Amino acid sequence: MGAERGLDRGWDEGHRGLDVALVGATGAVGRELLGLLVDAGHPRGRIACHARRRQSLELGDRGRFEVLPADAIGRADLAFLCTPSEVSLALAPLLAERGARVVDLSSAHRTRPEIPLVVPEINGDRLDGDPRIVANPNCTTAIAALPLAALDRAARLLEAIVASYQAASGAGLAGLNALAGETRAAAGLRSAPPEASPFPATLALNVIPAVADVDGEGWSGEERKIEHELKKILGRADLVVESTTVRVPVERCHSVAVHARFARAISPAEAREVLARAPGIALTDDPHGPRPRECAGTDPVHVGRVRAGARGAGSLCFFAVGDQLRKGAALNAFQVAARLPARR
Amino acid sequence: MGAERGLDRGWDEGHRGLDVALVGATGAVGRELLGLLVDAGHPRGRIACHARRRQSLELGDRGRFEVLPADAIGRADLAFLCTPSEVSLALAPLLAERGARVVDLSSAHRTRPEIPLVVPEINGDRLDGDPRIVANPNCTTAIAALPLAALDRAARLLEAIVASYQAASGAGLAGLNALAGETRAAAGLRSAPPEASPFPATLALNVIPAVADVDGEGWSGEERKIEHELKKILGRADLVVESTTVRVPVERCHSVAVHARFARAISPAEAREVLARAPGIALTDDPHGPRPRECAGTDPVHVGRVRAGARGAGSLCFFAVGDQLRKGAALNAFQVAARLPARR
């Protein structure tokens, strides 16, 4: 990731003067956010890391950080909550009351109509009113939303059918550790005991065809989020969204196969032009890409396999891949914060 | 697989009197077919194994088989061709002329209108005319077709959108060996040199979003096959089929996420009833199933996650898993042969 340091992600002198609280700093997303802050030149003395208990955090060649318990959070100008929903629900209003702008990466505030749910390239204008609490979207949603929003602006999206190929990192460090342990076991190595897994079945050499719990109507929590959040981010309550969410043995990039339908005809050539111009998207010509292993650790949502569908001139299919820990989580939250006013 | 020996797959005394030629016996599908024949009690002396060159074939506790070169094929009553398309194209008419009934597992004859393309549970009646050459379908198509055909009979299928999660075995033993070698490398073992891979990229800890070559319109060979073959097997030229075919790091079961639309309303409860009654299908209640790792080595197509879609009362979604080497290839071919007359 060293080659990407110094990338302009919109973090300016004003933002570097803010006192930042990073809550849930020791998880997979928290560590990624801490890396983004350090790489953006944020002064280490202005970053307060918090987690459930006091510890220290080693972040590769970026050095060691002291982590204080969550109940020791002091005054902050900006707070990132990489915390479970129930923690975010309690913490966000408290921190906002104390004067912090809060970016919540959990699902706690996403469905509340008065709280903006933001992918800056799509609905960054929702930040113009300087909201105190901003919700960061679900990882799969953020990755699917970027190309869909660009195409929606061009040809008005009617219907999005999404099948996902979701990485282990979506279940945090526990997910990554479980996959690594199971992969060693699949290779015939059984030196270490198998890691406790957050998944309902072995993920190595397998796919698990529902992410999160499944409700009484047969839809998974992840599929409900994708439907609700796509509608909210695109500002299109009338959108038809169907998805199947599937966990696959991949480390940190989520992929989506999208079969879309638009109000007007849109050719693959026009769609590629639209996508090539859209911020945050990298278009690939690889007939067998984009692929999650090769996209890991990169910022953009990678899009390929753009082709005409079989459901009339308005139907279009594509495949998109984004780093679940970057655009799917930490990077999007960082971009949200970068667009908020750099005021105390 | 021992527990499954003696399963009634329709192979009777008449069939056990046939001289069977198994061409391409040493590949992943050929070995599976040989196992099915032996397990069905077919006399070893009436099975002639052929491959490119003379060798011997070890089939676990089923023993060792002599393999003769393909140009030494003698008279056969029944021939299974587990061969590349160009070989099948040359061999099938020759063997048929010599009096054999031919089941071709390659794609060579699938698109020819005069040659039946058969999944016995769906269009087994196409075998009533005692055709000399029968085409066995593409693996992903066979697995998707079984539940779709049952639901089509109940509510008339209009549209099938399919995203696949395809196993390494679809590329034969070379695919399985490549995945095994890459999995060892991913686990940190580099004792053996990496296997030559039939895949365009590393498959371990990755997904590859196109199976087979991609044509000028952006569709992969596998996606074209699914569209054409589903229409032919279901006898429904008007069907709308869109698919995205993706290779995943799984050993031998293919999975499909299906988003379908029917001419009339069909509830998930009715769909489950229809599927429960359909031959060759095993319905699961596991909210996170069926899964390929757990379905490996079994005969049926496993179906789960049946739920109402968001595109009106006729829309329905489900997830299906089938062993690529069984129902996706060898088992279906075996079932075709079992329904052909047991005459010389």
| A261 domain residue, yes or no | yes
The fraction of chain A above a pLDDT of 90, given in percent, is 92
| A164 domain residue, yes or no | yes
Taking the CA atoms of A268, A269, A270 and A274 in sequence, report the sign of the dihedral they define. Answer: positive
B189 with B306, same domain? yes
B169 with B257, same domain? yes
Q: Are strands A240-244 and B101-104 parallel, antiparallel or unpaired?
A: unpaired
CA distance A337 to A203: 34
| B335 domain residue, yes or no | no
The arithmetic mean of pLDDT across residues B166-189, rounded, is: 95
What pLDDT, on a 0 to 100 scale, did the predictor assign at position A10?
87
What pLDDT, on a 0 to 100 scale, did the predictor assign at position B191?
61
CA distance B317 to chain A (A): 8
B73 with B152, same domain? no
| B304 domain residue, yes or no | yes
Nearest of B106, B94, B46 to residue B70 by alpha carbon: B94
Distance of CA B189 to the CA centre of its chain: 33
CA distance B36 to B12: 13
Q: CATH no. for residue A281? A: 3.30.360.10
- Indicate left, alpha or beta for A218 from its phi (over 0: left) and psi (-120 to 50: alpha): left
**Upstream peptide bond of A290 is cis (omega within 30 degrees of 0):** yes
3-state helix, strand, coil in chain A (%, to 5): 35, 25, 40
The arithmetic mean of pLDDT across residues B238-256, rounded, is: 98
Q: The tokens of A47 are what? A: 């970053």
Q: What pLDDT, in 10s, does the model give residues B145-171?
A: 999 999 999 999 999 999 999 999 999
What pLDDT, on a 0 to 100 scale, did the predictor assign at position B1?
37
B166 with B58, same domain? no
A229 touches chain B (CB under 8 A): no
pLDDT level of residue A7 (50, 70, 90 thresholds) = low
Mutation test of the interface with chain B: which of A208, A307, A316, A323, choosing the one with the most B Cβ atoms within 10 A?
A: A307
pLDDT level of residue A195 (50, 70, 90 thresholds) = low
pLDDT at B215 over 70: yes
pLDDT at A5 over 60: no
Q: The tokens of A246 are what? A: 């599937």
**Least CB-CB distance to A293: which of B206, B246, B306?**
B206
Classified as helix, coil or strand, A196 is: coil
Taking the CA atoms of A105, A107, A111 and A113 in sequence, report the sign of the dihedral they define. Answer: negative
Chain A residue nearest residue B289, CA to CA: A209
Query: Picking from A108-112, A144-148, B59-63, B139-143, which range would have the lowest pLDDT averaged per residue?
Result: B59-63
Residue A288 annotated as catalytic: no
A76 with A213, same domain? no
Mutation test of the interface with chain B: which of A208, A272, A293, A319, choosing the one with the most B Cβ atoms within 10 A?
A: A293
The fraction of chain A above a pLDDT of 70, given in percent, is 97
Q: What pLDDT, in 10s, does the model give residues A244-273?
A: 999 999 999 999 999 999 999 999 999 999
pLDDT level of residue A106 (50, 70, 90 thresholds) = very high
* Amino acid identity for residue B246 in this structure: V
pLDDT level of residue B6 (50, 70, 90 thresholds) = very low
The arithmetic mean of pLDDT across residues B268-288, rounded, is: 98
CA distance B297 to chain A (A): 14
A150 with A102, same domain? no
A151 with A298, same domain? yes
A183 touches chain B (CB under 8 A): yes
Q: Which residues of A16-50 are buried (b: 16+ CB within 10 A; e: fewer)?
A: eebbbbbbbbbbbbbbbbbbbbbbbebeeebbbbb
Task: Let me know: does A34 contact A22? Beta carbons within 8 Å.
Answer: yes
| B44 domain residue, yes or no | yes
pLDDT level of residue B195 (50, 70, 90 thresholds) = low
A163 with A266, same domain? yes
pLDDT at A236 over 60: yes
| A133 domain residue, yes or no | no
pLDDT level of residue B5 (50, 70, 90 thresholds) = very low
pLDDT level of residue A71 (50, 70, 90 thresholds) = confident
CA distance B320 to chain A (A): 9
DSSP string for B26-64: TSHHHHHHHHHHHHTT--GGGEEEEESS-EEEE-GGG-E
What pLDDT, on a 0 to 100 scale, did the predictor assign at position A343?
82
Question: Cβ separation of A218 and B307 shorter than 8 Å?
Answer: yes
Classified as helix, coil or strand, A112 is: coil
A239 with A319, same domain? yes
Q: CATH no. for residue B70? A: 3.40.50.720
Residue A139 annotated as catalytic: yes
Task: Let me know: does B146 contact B157? Beta carbons within 8 Å.
Answer: no
The fraction of chain B above a pLDDT of 70, given in percent, is 97
Q: The tokens of A228 are what? A: 């609700």
**Least CB-CB distance to B217: which of A220, A291, A308?**
A308
What pLDDT, on a 0 to 100 scale, did the predictor assign at position A74?
87
pLDDT level of residue A193 (50, 70, 90 thresholds) = low
- Indicate left, alpha or beta for A130 from its phi (over 0: left) and psi (-120 to 50: alpha): left
| B341 domain residue, yes or no | no
Q: What pLDDT, in 10s, does the model give residues A112-168?
A: 999 999 999 999 999 999 999 999 999 999 999 999 999 999 999 999 999 999 999
| A125 domain residue, yes or no | no
On the 0-12 / 13-18 / 19+ scale of CB atoms within 10 A, A60 is exposed
Question: Cβ separation of B317 and A244 shorter than 8 Å?
Answer: yes
Half-sphere exposure of A84 (CA within 13 A, CB side): 6
* Phi and psi torsions of B164, nearest 5°: -105, 160
Q: What pLDDT, in 10s, does the model give residues A34-56?
A: 999 999 999 999 999 999 999 99
CA distance A43 to A37: 9
What pLDDT, on a 0 to 100 scale, did the predictor assign at position B154?
98
Q: Which long-range contacts (CB under 8 A, 24 or more apart) does A221-227 make?
A: A222/A138, A222/A140, A222/A164, A222/A166, A225/A107, A225/A110, A225/A138, A225/A140, A225/A141, A226/A138, A226/A140, A226/A141, A226/A144, A226/A162, A226/A164, A227/B310
Look at chain B and report how many structural domains it folds into.
2
Residue A124 carries which DSSP code?
G
Range of the domain at B312: 141-324
A240 with A307, same domain? yes
Q: What pLDDT, in 10s, does the model give residues A10-20?
A: 899 999 999 99
What pLDDT, on a 0 to 100 scale, did the predictor assign at position B308?
98
CA distance A58 to A67: 10
A176 with A300, same domain? yes
How does the average pLDDT of chain A come out, rounded? 95
Question: Cβ separation of A163 and B311 shorter than 8 Å?
Answer: no
